């Protein structure tokens, strides 16, 4: 039995196969205006991954000799086992294969976001909300193309989706409940993505990757806002029982994402390729990953779990019921004091400036591209 939790008419939903409800005469009367600005902004930050004036995937990178990302972003290298096992070119290859796995996970996430926003079009009755979702689907489609092109240019093909992420994405895409889709995808996966993109943007050694991250972020910053609007209009009106349902779903998604990112079982083929057994790597992880160390890593404001927790906290979804689950990883009071500026907003804004110049101006059109290359 499907249970929709609807507190604002603009999120009213029908069953995915109930197209008849979409052509009922009455339903055309309703069109929320809450998303109009996001929908019209899409023209300002338009970009095309197949057009070199926005991004050039033919710029090469020396994968054999240069690591794409710093060693800090490869948790396995913090363990004694993996650290001592790999050196020289094999170590560089390992770092770059981990980066390939991470970017592939992002690509699968983008495919999930595309299918999910399209699925919202099938169930949301409000025309404004539907147009928002259709617009997001279009933007997610270009992210799928862009990450596919990037992976092709660097490695030829992506790595398969880890089983945990695959299960979660499938559940969200197929869920008929609006709250599951919005909390799971718009708030958590999109929040995780913003944190990951910001990190890659700041730390990657590859100018093409950095530029790609910034372009994607110009779109994602708005997707994240859609989740925030839902939360603002829904969370304060939930009954205790409804709040528990939403809070538990958020905690379940959070734990799944955390597990996917840190558990070596999710990338066992990759370890095998380097002569490492994933169970040994897991044991090595348990030796070093004390909560204190994790907490230290989380102090970086771009830390992806931190971004996730902040998203849920600002939305009012976390209460004392599940607080301890998150407090293990981050100082909750400190996080609350930071307010609701999201990591990555400034990067996205700068990216939009670049796109406005490319789309509407002539002079500085290539400056950001040039800057990304010059910073190398």
The minimum distance between CB 254 and Fe ion, in angstroms, equals 18
- Residues 6+ away with beta carbon under 8 Å from 152: 57
Nearest to 210 by CA among 265, 282, 297, 150: 150
Binding mask 188-227 for Fe ion (x = CB under 5 A): --------------------------------x--x----
The minimum distance between CB 113 and Fe ion, in angstroms, equals 5
Q: Are 119 and 16 in contact (CB under 8 A)?
A: yes
Nearer to Fe ion (CB atom), residue 79 or residue 104: 104
Among 143, 181, 210, 243, binds Fe ion (CB under 5 A): 143
The minimum distance between CB 222 and Fe ion, in angstroms, equals 8
The minimum distance between CB 220 and Fe ion, in angstroms, equals 5
Instruction: Please classify residue 227 by burial: count the beta carbons closer than 10 Å to its beta carbon, then call 0-12 exposed, 13-18 middle and 19+ buried.
Output: buried
Q: With CB under 5 A, what is the number of residues at the site for Fe ion? A: 6
Nearer to Fe ion (CB atom), residue 60 or residue 170: 170
Nearer to Fe ion (CB atom), residue 175 or residue 213: 213
C-alpha distance from residue 122 to each of 17, 104, 110, 174, 247 (Å):
8, 28, 19, 11, 25
First-to-last CA distance in the chain? Answer: 55
Nearer to Fe ion (CB atom), residue 116 or residue 281: 116
The minimum distance between CB 51 and Fe ion, in angstroms, equals 18
The minimum distance between CB 143 and Fe ion, in angstroms, equals 4
Q: Are 198 and 217 in contact (CB under 8 A)?
A: yes
Other CB atoms within 10 A of residue 374 CB: 9
The minimum distance between CB 42 and Fe ion, in angstroms, equals 12
Piece in contact with Fe ion (CB under 5 A), picked from 137-145, 205-213, 279-287, 365-373: 137-145
* Footprint on residues 255-274 left by Fe ion (CB under 5 A): none
* Footprint on residues 61-120 left by Fe ion (CB under 5 A): 110, 113
Among 97, 140, 177, 247, binds Fe ion (CB under 5 A): 140
Nearer to Fe ion (CB atom), residue 106 or residue 246: 106
The minimum distance between CB 187 and Fe ion, in angstroms, equals 11
The minimum distance between CB 24 and Fe ion, in angstroms, equals 30
Nearer to Fe ion (CB atom), residue 132 or residue 278: 132
Nearer to Fe ion (CB atom), residue 110 or residue 131: 110
C-alpha distance from residue 38 to each of 33, 124, 132, 229, 335 (Å):
10, 17, 8, 11, 27
Nearer to Fe ion (CB atom), residue 150 or residue 271: 150
Other CB atoms within 10 A of residue 318 CB: 23
Can residue 38 be called a binding residue for Fe ion (CB under 5 A)? no
Distance CA(70)–CA(204), nearest Å, equals 7
Nearer to Fe ion (CB atom), residue 140 or residue 177: 140
The minimum distance between CB 184 and Fe ion, in angstroms, equals 13
Nearer to Fe ion (CB atom), residue 179 or residue 222: 222
Name the residues that contact Fe ion, by CB under 5 A: 110, 113, 140, 143, 220, 223
């Amino acid at each position: 039995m499907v249970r929709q939790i609807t507190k604002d008419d603009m999120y009213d939903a029908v069953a995915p196969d109930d197209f008849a409800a979409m052509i009922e005469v009455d339903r055309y009367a309703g069109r929320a205006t809450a998303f109009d600005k996001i929908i019209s902004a899409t023209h300002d930050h338009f970009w095309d991954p197949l057009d070199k004036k926005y991004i050039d995937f033919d710029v090469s990178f020396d994968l054999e000799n240069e690591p794409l990302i710093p060693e800090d972003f490869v948790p396995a290298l913090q363990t004694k086992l993996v650290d001592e096992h790999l050196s020289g070119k094999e170590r560089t290859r390992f770092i770059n294969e981990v980066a390939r796995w991470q970017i592939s996970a992002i690509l699968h996430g983008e495919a999930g976001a595309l299918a999910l926003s399209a699925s919202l079009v099938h169930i949301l009755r409000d025309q404004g909300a539907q147009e928002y979702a259709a617009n997001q689907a279009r933007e997610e489609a270009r992210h799928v193309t862009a990450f596919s092109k990037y992976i092709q240019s660097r490695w030829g093909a992506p790595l398969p989706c880890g089983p945990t992420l695959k299960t979660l994405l499938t559940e969200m895409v197929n869920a008929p409940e609006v709250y599951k889709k919005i909390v799971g995808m718009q708030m958590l996966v999109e929040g995780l993505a913003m944190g990951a993109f910001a990190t890659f943007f700041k730390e990657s050694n590859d100018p093409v990757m950095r530029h790609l991250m910034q372009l994607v972020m110009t779109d994602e910053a708005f997707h994240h806002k859609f989740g925030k609007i839902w939360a603002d209009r829904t969370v304060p009106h939930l009954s205790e029982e409804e709040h528990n349902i939403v809070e538990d779903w958020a905690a379940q998604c959070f734990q799944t994402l955390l597990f996917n990112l840190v558990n070596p079982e999710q990338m066992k083929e990759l370890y095998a390729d380097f002569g490492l057994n994933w169970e040994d790597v897991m044991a090595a992880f348990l030796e070093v990953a004390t909560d204190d160390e994790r907490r230290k890593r989380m102090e970086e404001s771009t830390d992806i779990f931190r971004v996730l927790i902040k998203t849920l906290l600002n939305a009012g979804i976390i209460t004392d019921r599940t607080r301890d689950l998150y407090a293990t990883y981050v100082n909750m009071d400190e996080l609350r004091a930071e307010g609701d500026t999201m990591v990555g907003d400034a990067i996205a804004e700068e990216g939009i400036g670049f796109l406005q110049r490319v789309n509407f101006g002539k002079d500085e059109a290539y400056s950001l591209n040039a800057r990304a290359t010059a910073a190398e």
